[in-house]
Amino acid sequence: MLLKISLLAFSVVILSCGTTENQTITTAVSTTPSETTTNTGSVNPEKMAQAGYLLGTVVYSDKEGDCEYTIQMPGDKMEYYYLDPINLEENYKKDGQKVWLKFAGLRRMNRCDKATPAEILDIKKGG
């Protein structure tokens, strides 16, 4: 009986553990435009980073197996990684466009080989 209870407890602990290796979740923080921009209207990188935004670059690809638009993000262990934004607005679909964004990683099947699915929570043009 003690063996069954121990085995059950061990199974619950093991099954409750999950991997978060490829998940990046940034929580949305409400900011006003004056907090993230300077007096000249340009984006202040320090304020954007403090507000939880990450700087990325929109990348266009017409190769087979690639997503049409991805966002290249700086990485910790790797030089960079790619996001597959499921809700990227048309006015941000420009190759090479720098963007500040907050996003949530999605647990769904990848639409392309090199990018991780993500939902954009907030996005602003970068510089």
Question: pLDDT (tens digit, 9 = 90+) per residue, 27-51?
Answer: 444 444 445 554 445 678 899 989 9
The pLDDT tens digits of the residues spanning 80-109 come to 899 999 999 999 999 999 999 999 999 988
3-state secondary structure the chain: CHHHHHHHHHHHHHHHCCCCCCCCECCCCCCCHHHHECCCCCECHHHHHHCCCEEEEEEECCCCCCCCEEEEEECCCCCEEEEEECCCCHHHCCCCCEEEEEEEECCCCCCCCCEEEEEEEEEEECC
Sequence ranges of the domains in the chain: 23-125
User: Tell me: domain 23-125, CATH 2.60.120, correct?
Assistant: no
Q: What is the pTM of this model?
A: 0.64
